[in-house]
Amino acid sequence: MNPHVGSARRHAKDWAREMGMLSGRGTWDEATFDSDDWPLFAALTHPEATKEQLCGISLWDVCLLALDDYFVAAYKDTRDLAGATAFVERLREFMPLSGRRVPVPANQVERGLADVWARTAPGMPPRLRDRFPDHVVDFARGNLWELDNTLRDHVVDPVEYLDQRRRTAGTELSTGLAAYTLGAALPDELFLSGPLPTLVTAFADSVGLRNDIHSYRKEVELERDLNNGVVALRRFSGGGLQDAVDLAHALYNARIDEFQHTTTRLPAYFAEQSLDATTQASVLRHVKALEDWMAGDNQWYRVTGRYTRNWTTPPREPALGGPNGVGTSAARIAARMRF
């Protein structure tokens, strides 16, 4: 736990209120904001960040999850793909890389994005600052992919789902905020081969699958969303709900095991690539940041009220048809494997 969690909570709540995110219109009211406790999420996933860094990360977490919840209320619930597309493509304008003025915000998400960008971009490593707007837009475009699936009543196969889930889970944003706390981004070439790409992919899959298990009731039974790994695995395995949950959990554990096993390859990789001591230390700090993130994320689910509220809408089992689409046969094989 980051010792500055109290400061982050106060700062984030005051900021969210100022941005209009606590109005209850599309995002939260004060009770749901406190129940979700995104500043606690930031404090658990970034235990070694400074007070200033943690407050900045908390604002990003609040802003990005406000984007997620606003998208559901404004576009998923209304099935407005055209409006959603325009909303997503406009986001980049609120994260200028030069001194260009931003447009007048039309909603609390745009207002918050412009403000948190102006607050934190100057302190980002230059390469991260240049790429961070792309990461935000890519994360938001994942919502477009999900909305398109919903409009077509389409459940993608598990192979495609996991690939896309790495985007909708905000992998680049999570690793980018980790680099923000470290004060530097690793050289691109380290992510082209060797153990680091495997670590990042395993990290992303564990984050997405864990969320899919915890969020199933809220997002599938209540919000009628079919973009969930449990749904994908259930449809393509042909089993019951608990079977699909068990399979998702087994796959989640397999990705954690893959992450842990890959970390043991780092010393040999350092020797093979003749990496200097400074680069080795940077890689190890980056890996430690991912470990902290996974551990903190795991703990946050045990205390947040985001997925355990007393819902007023009765749950409904989703209607699932037979398998179709790319990767169907591979998914059937995976469903019979013991992870």
Element containing residue 11 per DSSP (H, E): helix 5-19
CB-CB neighbours of 31 under 10 Å? 12
Q: What is the pLDDT of residues 247-284, one digit of tens each?
A: 999 999 999 999 999 999 999 999 999 999 999 999 99
Dump pLDDT digits (tens) for 228-245. 999 999 998 899 999 999
Helices of type H across 72-107: 81-90
Q: In this predicted model, what pLDDT tens digit does every residue of 119-177 receive, in sequence order?
A: 999 988 888 899 999 999 999 999 999 999 999 999 989 999 998 888 888 888 888 88
Rounded-to-integer distance, Cα 339 and Cα 337, Å: 6
Lowest model confidence (mean pLDDT) among 6-15, 126-135, 288-297: 126-135
* 108 φψ region: left (φ > 0), alpha (ψ -120 to 50), beta (else): alpha
Lowest mean pLDDT among 52-66, 176-190, 319-333: 319-333
Structure tokens at 69: 């919840």
Is residue 114 over pLDDT 80? yes
- Residue 193, classed as helix, strand or coil, is coil
Average pLDDT along the chain? 88
Q: Which of 97, 105, 104 is nearest to 126 (CA)?
A: 97
pLDDT at 339: 28
> At what angle are helices 5-19 and 51-71 packed, to 10 degrees?
40
pLDDT band at 21 (very low <50, low <70, confident <90, very high): very high
The encoded tokens of residue 49 equal: 């960040």
pLDDT tens track for 203-236: 999 999 999 999 999 888 888 888 999 999 999 8
Q: Residue 266's pLDDT is what?
A: 96
Q: With bands split at pLDDT 50, 70 and 90, how would you rate the model's confidence at 322?
A: very low
Q: Is the pLDDT of residue 316 over 60?
A: no
Please give the single-letter amino acid code of residue 162.
L
- Kindly give, in sequence order, each residue whose CB lies less than 8 Å from that of residue 24, ignoring residues fewer than 6 positions away: none
Can you tell me the distance from the alpha carbon of 18 to that of 193, in angstroms, rounded to the nearest whole number? 44
**How far apart (Å, rounded) are the C-alpha atoms in residues 237 and 309?**
30
pLDDT surpasses 90 at 291: yes
Q: Band of the pLDDT at 330, cuts 50, 70, 90?
A: very low
- How are the residues of the chain apportioned to helix, strand and coil, as percentages rounded to the nearest 5? 70, 0, 30
**Any idea how long the chain is?**
339
At residue 327, the pLDDT reads: 42
